[in-house]
Amino acid sequence: MVATSSGTTSTPTLKRSVGRRMLLVFIVGDILGAGIYALTGKVAAEVGGAIWIPFLLAFGLAALTATAYAELVTRYPRAAGAAVYAQRAFGRPFVTFLVAFAVLMSGITSASAAARAFGGDYLAELVTVPTLVAAWAFVLLVAVVNAVGVSESVRVNLVLTAVEVTGLLVILVIGARAFLAGEGDPGRAMTLSADGPVWMAVLGGTALAFYALLGFEDSVNLAEECRHPRSDFPRALFGGIAIAGVVYLSVAFTTSMLVDTATLAESTGPLLEVVRVAGLVFPPWLFAIIALVAVSNTALINMIMASRVVYGMSREGIVPRWLGLVDRRRQTPWVAIAFTTVIALTLVSTGDLSGLADTTVLLLLLVFAVVNVSVLVLRRRPDDRDGAVDGDAPRGFRAPTWAPALGAVVSLVLASPLTGRSADVYARAGLLLGIGVVLYVLNRVLGGTHRPAPERAEPAAS
């Protein structure tokens, strides 16, 4: 939705209709999703029964990086997020492009991981289909929903979010009942075990668990649609992370308490294993449907975002303009949707669930390192600040200096080989960024224009 700015100009601007509560709901809904439904078992394979520890550490990193986002979004309440911050801090169009493209590719890899999860144990509870075939069909179905129209996609997203929250509430009820009845093995949830050094296993588990907490960074793309971004964003951002963190820690503890580690490590539907052993009468097939809905929601959100970012980049002349062609009847960016869908289908064919999730995390950890450093760089320019919204705080949030500094260091550590991350993950991330470099160079050679910050690219994804 747009509103026309007052005064003599008729330039359309985004309507400021998002309040603090709506923003909080958006953040919680964006974080909750495929990660906790699909990756809990993979984290157990890394660290043993104490899977809540990597989730707790991932929550801490998210909180550190959130301080950087909170300061930057209140300083520059613009919709393009990390790309704007990188451009303001470093003033290098190519760096800005790489940051934006890394965010774009992280969305596609996240959707691809969700597709692999969709074709796993949750679907097997209902019907027997080869995982790869199911994943391909799933990606194509998401592309169809995306191409039909953004308003229809958003309506679908609201329904899917409500269903996925219901599934997590079911697990929490199962856990509370089991704990009060003395069932399960709480001691197992306190046990760390690994083939190698425990600290490396915890680092690797944290890097993987961080996938489940991703989504909070997307909220900054609503900055231009918030009524009071400088006062509302910090509270909603930290509140949303805290709510999601408590839910995830509770679900992780419950899962390990009720299901043995070996079963979890082999499962692509770990929460389904909890339902199977629960004392409550809750049909596993029904929970499988809920989990598939949660996985679908994650993929849909990410593919909408990715296709709109490609469209926005093409409109800005950063990538070839043919990528921004729009279907006349549906008014959706069909070429961008096709481009991102082809990449997703390729990733689904060449990567497994944990590898694709880890690629998503790697790309965003690099982005987070840039965002955290950007805060420290921009502290030297106290007057570099966008105007305040009427009735909003004049300056906004300021992070304690140690938080973004530590956030940058931790992001780089978790992005490093110290986590035991497979070489395939680095190769995949490098190849995806290489696609961006090729598009960038091709566009420059063919005479495309490059505007520094693709600020119109991401609002459409909200």
Residue 178: domain span: 22-385+394-461
Look up residue 191 and give its two tokens. Answer: 């046990």
Phi-psi bin for 389: left (phi > 0), alpha (psi -120 to 50), beta? beta
DSSP-derived 3-state class of residue 192: strand
CATH code for position 306: 1.20.1740.10
Domain assignment present for residue 335? The answer is: yes
Please tell me which residue, 366 or 189, carries the higher pLDDT value: 366
The region of weakest confidence among 182-191, 215-224, 436-445 is: 215-224
In angstroms, the Cα distances linking 211 to 42, 200, 283, 406, 439 are 12, 18, 28, 19, 27
Domain assignment present for residue 289? The answer is: yes
Domain assignment present for residue 14? The answer is: no
Is 277:70 a contact under the CB 8 Å cutoff?
no
Residue 78 has pLDDT above 80, yes or no: no
Look up residue 241 and give its two tokens. Answer: 């992370």
Domain assignment present for residue 12? The answer is: no
**Exposed/middle/buried for residue 275 (C-beta within 10 Å: 0-12, 13-18, 19+):** buried
CA distance 311 to 150: 13
Look up residue 201 and give its two tokens. Answer: 């296993």
State the total domains in the chain: 1
Q: What is the model's pLDDT at position 372?
A: 94
Domain assignment present for residue 254? The answer is: yes
DSSP string, 147-182: HH-HHHHHHHHHHHHHHHHHHHHHHHHHHHHHHHTT
Task: State the residue for tokens 């959100």.
Answer: 301
Q: What is the model's pLDDT at position 460?
A: 34
Residue 150 has pLDDT above 80, yes or no: no
The region of weakest confidence among 159-163, 260-264, 328-332, 354-358 is: 328-332
> Tell me: the pLDDT tens digits for 26-74?
778 778 877 888 888 888 888 888 899 999 999 998 899 999 998 888 8
CA distance 125 to 37: 14
Question: To 5 degrees, how large is the angle CA 431–CA 203–CA 435?
Answer: 10
Give the pTM: 0.82
CA distance 207 to 429: 15
Task: State the residue for tokens 């970012």.
Answer: 309
CA distance 265 to 270: 8
> Tell me: the pLDDT tens digits for 205-250?
888 888 888 878 777 666 666 677 777 788 888 998 999 889 999 9
DSSP-derived 3-state class of residue 328: coil
Residues 6+ apart with CB under 8 A from 282: 170, 174, 275
Q: How confident is the model at residue 310 (pLDDT cuts 50, 70, 90)?
A: confident
Task: State the residue for tokens 């296709």.
Answer: 307
For the chain, the average pLDDT equals: 80
Q: What is the model's pLDDT at position 359?
A: 92
Domain assignment present for residue 4? The answer is: no
Domain assignment present for residue 17? The answer is: no
**Exposed/middle/buried for residue 51 (C-beta within 10 Å: 0-12, 13-18, 19+):** buried
Residue 312 has pLDDT above 80, yes or no: no
Domain assignment present for residue 6? The answer is: no
> Tell me: the pLDDT tens digits for 401-433?
999 999 999 999 989 888 888 899 999 999 999
CA distance 18 to 225: 6
